[in-house]
Structure 1
Amino acid sequence: MTDTLQRAPGALTGLKVIDLTQMLAGPFCTMMLGDQGATVIKIEPLDGEPTRLFGPFAADDQLKSFGGYFQSVNRNKLSVALDLKHAQGREVFLRLVQEADVVVENFRAGVMDRLGIGYETLAATNRKLVYAALRGFGDPRSGASPYVDWPAFDVVAQAMGGIIGITGPDADTPLKIGPGVGDLVPAMMSAFAILAAVRHADKTGEGQFVDLAMYDSMLALCERIIYQHSYAGQVPGPEGNGHPLLCPFGLFPASDGWVTIACPRENFWLLLTEIMGQPELGRDPRYGSNEARTARKGEVVALVSEWSARRSKAEIQSLLGGRVPFGPVNTVADILADPHVAARSMVAEVDHPGSAHRYSIANSPIRMSKTFSGVQTRSPLTGEHTDAVLAEAGYKPSDIETLRAACAIA
């Protein structure tokens, strides 16, 4: 299929992805593929994916087809509106799958099977197809979790996978991570797994079922707690703003906010104490190794904090920046004003249908020397590309109108 977006070629140009996902995890996964040039055909219900209703909305948006949530993770995609419960809608879907490389869905286990378009059915029509499922607790094909029928969102995966249990200011106050890592990390792992399966399919001509559980992905992210328990018998809890194995390593107060300082290695520790004007601390055997400093973590953190608290973030940056591992704790305003962000093109501006203004979204962090990576087009309107995609699949204009009249497409 010709990429009707007419974009700059990316590393995945020519890869066709049928995207049945919604909310955050699945769309972020397919967004990553689209950012690298894959043709991502987003299959939506006739009235659009539910997150189109999520804000924030532009103040002058006359259409309200989608808000910032949807715009951020559905860029570089084509939208085809299909009713998968309609027999003719399923026929259209099956026809699209015949020419696809990848199908991605994040429904609850069994939904696609009940629609008659599950993995086995699709694999029978396209032997090379990579079928990826991203669910809260995985798919029974790979291992039947006792929670397989439980619905799951980011916060559920964060809680059950262990990350909330080790995050917080003290042992009695667990905290949810700010960004939706319970969605985003599984999305990234799914994108990696999909490309691994595509590589296998290219070599062997054989597709396969790719299964990612949000719970599993959080557990993999929290790998440290497993070996801490196995090697040392520990049950780690919230760790505050430090690190259980490294010191100094974490957040420290400034007069106008917070900064991060990480000096677990002796050369950095010696340099930090010199900059602090207390070189004797660098020579003190009580703090002479990371292990020794970790054993006296309270003392070390207090010494560094007492020094940092008397200085502004800018003052600390002028002293530590480029010399020891350091970074200010930035707000979004700080980030948008940071020359690094501009130099790395980490913010992209996109048009928004219904609004006279352009808006900013986060760009892809991936940079490649030969191929383009990142935002090229805004998120689509519901069914914006239905006619074009079906035409390229071989449907005549009269066929498309018949399907639309039957309410199989929009």
Structure 2
Amino acid sequence: MSGSLSHLRVLDLSRVLAGPWASQILGDLGADVIKVERPQTGDDTRSWGPPFFQGDDGSAEISAYFLSANRNKQSLAIDLTHPEGQKLIRRLVAESDVVLENFKVGGLKRYGLDCESLQRINPKLIYCSITGFGQDGPYSNRPGYDFLIQAMGGLMSITGHPDGEPGSGPMKVGVALTDIMTGLYATIGVLAALTHRDRTGEGQHVETALLDVQVACLANQAMNYLTTGKAPARMGNAHPNIVPYEDFPTADGNMVLTVGNDLQFARLCEVLGNPEWAIDERFATNRARVANRKELIPKLRQATVMRSTREWVDVLESAGVPCGPVNTIDQVFDDPQVVAREMCQKIAHPNLGMVPTVANPIKLKLTPVEYRRAPPLLGEQSAQILHRIIGLSEQEIEALRASHVIS
């Protein structure tokens, strides 16, 4: 292993998406990631389907959802409610650098697997906790789910058609974006804590919460509110601070215009055959266009319906106007840029054959991401992990399996 983090071992006690997303990134960067799962059932997302990816002979299958967040990991199936299972985790912690968990607040304390208990075993341990609402505050004991947090954290209030339009109402994003962003923040926190440990030898508790992350990622919309006292409203695909920056109809579908400055707007007007708009005081500057969007947008829409999406994209790109089609996901993976960037990879699995995966977007020249392991079957590496890391014999492992401590 030659990845940037190949000197590190991560014990991943998390499940579903935010935690597994973080541990997958760490695994992609070279860390030895051990995914701890419940015997018999495993991570909840193993059953979240269809669709399922099935091996050629039909002897094994894994849900597409599980495949999305669990490559470059090994599966160790241990019953954490069993005292012997807890002992195994403590022995693994002594040989690990990072523990990642997303249990409810205090959920692991009853098993002696909380941060304070495990750092007594390994003072250099980085212990990362992901929760819905944080370790403190009035909501700290509530479970958190992405859809719920998108609603409570304000994202759904600014996503969807405006009130009064057909289909209006709050709308969630099409993927569990808050979970994914929380996984990214958790990864950053772990890397920061590891850097601190490299300098001081100290481990620490890293904590991130879905609600905190969602509030932080309101970005300019949060600042729009904090600077004006007025809560932003849903605007469909329009942008609150930039015009034109939304979707427009074409002769055969839709395209997106993302005009970021006045020079780009002047080029757009030239291509559309209306150069006078660029010097009209109502539209000449972005500030004026934002104030007068109700007058400008219908004019643009009347012009864009005159050609096909492909024709507009070709001519606008040549003129230096940012634009593009509204692709379906099959079109995304056929896009020549996506193909050139090798964003679809395949990994060999002993039971499933070649398993597809979406590539990690981080490009490192000296220590590139490697797709070493396909997402594992439940307990696929239990025996070898216990033998390799804590030296259990074959007889000891079989005894644990007979007692249903592991599978």
Identify whether the pair has TM-score above 0.5, normalized to the shorter chain: yes
RMSD over aligned CA atoms reads: 1.6
Give how far 1:352 is off: 5.7
2:1 corresponds to 1:11: no
Counterpart of 1:4 in structure 2 is none
Task: Give yes or no for contact 1:57–1:64 (8 Å, CA) kept in 2.
Answer: no
Structure 1 stretch 62-71 or stretch 100-109: which is displaced more?
Answer: 62-71
Query: Mapping of 1:6-405 within 5 angstroms?
Result: 7=1, 9-47=2-40, 48-55=42-49, 56-58=51-53, 62-139=58-135, 144-171=136-163, 173-321=169-317, 323-351=320-348, 355=352, 358-393=354-389, 394-405=391-402
Structure 1 stretch 256-265 or stretch 331-340: which is displaced more?
Answer: 256-265
Gaps of 5+ in 2: none
Give how far 1:350 is off: 3.3
Aligned partners of 2:301, 2:358: CA distance in 1, in Å? 33
Residue 282 of structure 2 aligns to a residue in which SS? helix
Give how far 1:132 is off: 0.5
Give how far 1:193 is off: 0.8
Give how far 1:165 is off: 0.8
Aligned partners of 2:365, 2:140: CA distance in 1, in Å? 42
Gaps of 5+ in 1: 1-6
Task: Give yes or no for contact 1:259–1:327 (8 Å, CA) kept in 2.
Answer: yes
Aligned partners of 1:355, 1:94: CA distance in 2, in Å? 32
The code of the aligned residue for 2:344 comes to V
The code of the aligned residue for 1:259 comes to M
Aligned partners of 1:348, 1:271: CA distance in 2, in Å? 38
Aligned partners of 2:14, 2:143: CA distance in 1, in Å? 15
The code of the aligned residue for 1:402 comes to A
Task: Give yes or no for contact 1:104–1:133 (8 Å, CA) kept in 2.
Answer: yes
Give how far 1:65 is off: 4.5
Structure 1 stretch 24-33 or stretch 399-408: which is displaced more?
Answer: 399-408
* Percent identity of equivalent pairs: 37
Give how far 1:255 is off: 2.4
Aligned partners of 2:405, 2:152: CA distance in 1, in Å? 39
Task: Give yes or no for contact 1:103–1:132 (8 Å, CA) kept in 2.
Answer: yes
Residue 274 of structure 1 aligns to a residue in which SS? helix
Give how far 1:324 is off: 1.3
The code of the aligned residue for 2:5 comes to L
Q: Deviations over 1:163-193 (max 9, x none)?
A: 1111111035111111111211111111111
Give how far 1:257 is off: 2.3
Aligned partners of 1:260, 1:374: CA distance in 2, in Å? 34
Corresponding residue pairs, total: 398
TM-score calculated relative to the size of structure 2: 0.94
TM-score calculated relative to the size of structure 1: 0.93
Give how far 1:406 is off: 2.1
Give how far 1:213 is off: 0.6
Aligned partners of 2:177, 2:220: CA distance in 1, in Å? 17
Task: Give yes or no for contact 2:61–2:352 (8 Å, CA) kept in 1.
Answer: no
Structure 1 stretch 184-193 or stretch 367-376: which is displaced more?
Answer: 367-376
Task: Give yes or no for contact 1:61–1:353 (8 Å, CA) kept in 2.
Answer: no
Residue 287 of structure 1 aligns to a residue in which SS? coil
